[in-house]
Amino acid sequence: MLYSIIVPCYKSAHTIRQVVELTAAKMDEMGRTPYEFVLVDDYSPDGGDTICELRAVADDHPYVKVIELAQNSGQHNAVMAGLNYAEGDVLIAMDDDLQTHPSQLPAMFEEFDKGYDIVYGYYPEKHHSAFRNFGSWVNSTSVRILIGKPKDLKTSSFWIIRKFVRDYVIQYKSHYTHLQGLFLRTTRNIASVPVEHFDRAYGSSGYTFKKLISLWSNIMGYSIVPLRIAQRTGVFFAILGILGALAIILKKIFAPTSAVGWYSMMVSICFFSGLIMMFLGVIGEYLGRMFKGMTNDPQFVVRQVYTGRKEEK
């Protein structure tokens, strides 16, 4: 049985060697061999430091494969690139900053050996900023509402999956990748175990507010719930409008001298115009994603694949 450890890398020149060597030592200690590492450089903007270090690690360790992307594709798409190039029967995803620490792997494998298809390591206490934690809560709540994630299932970027899950997931070719959505579409035989969340070994998170919003919006590709919300909200306000019109007619009948308020009319126009534009935006987002899917907008573009001192085109 081959184990594949996939690590998306973004400005990780200072930490990736430690991630690989500590994880390899832990896999040896657990007897989880043979293994391979698939390190995906997500076009790190550090003047080539990360890709140079990844290539050096691959030169030093024959079990390391490096995927260099030609443009930044985002963490989930970078992991998808790793899944496409991994050859293992069991696949593990970790971060490049040692927050998903290899010392926590035994607890995850203990649960995985019970027969689950996917096991997540989740953090009872996170070493993130308050803003990042709030974003995680919003994302988790959205996934639960939009695509039916079980309430008791806690997730993170630290997980173990079986090969058949990978084989199904990589059939998804849209640019808007959301791994939780893909996993939940594949199987519900999923568990989560508490693991310790370590401090970043170096630097700070590469997630900006814009990137977090972009990742969150990818959930739309796995659910039609927003369209149903738009439909039901439209019906609700249409009924409200009819009742309001009836109220005005009755008021005019019984109190013909009463004046219709100009301000209330303008407020109503602005409110409903905004509502219409918002839901047109939701529909437009779906149409835009369909268009980009039809034009085969890629999830990722691989520039080079490095395997030790050998180089593949």
Q: What is the pLDDT of residue 153?
A: 86
Domain of 243 in residue numbering reads as 225-294
Q: Give the global pTM.
A: 0.74
User: What average pLDDT does this structure show over 38-42?
Assistant: 96
Do residues 100 and 174 share a domain?
yes
Do residues 196 and 90 share a domain?
yes
- Provide CB contacts within 8 A for 99, sequence distance 6+: 127, 197, 198, 199, 200
Do residues 235 and 186 share a domain?
no
Do residues 38 and 155 share a domain?
yes
CATH of the domain at 208: 3.90.550.10
Do residues 121 and 218 share a domain?
yes
Do residues 100 and 127 share a domain?
yes
> Total domain count for the chain?
2
Do residues 201 and 253 share a domain?
no
Do residues 265 and 308 share a domain?
no
Do residues 11 and 26 share a domain?
yes
Do residues 177 and 273 share a domain?
no
Q: What is the pLDDT of residue 313?
A: 45
pLDDT range class, residue 203, cuts 50, 70, 90: low
- Please write the tens of the pLDDT for every residue from 217-268: 666 566 666 766 776 777 777 677 667 667 767 776 777 666 656 556 766 7
Do residues 282 and 171 share a domain?
no
- Please write the tens of the pLDDT for every residue from 204-228: 555 555 555 665 566 656 666 676 6
Do residues 8 and 155 share a domain?
yes
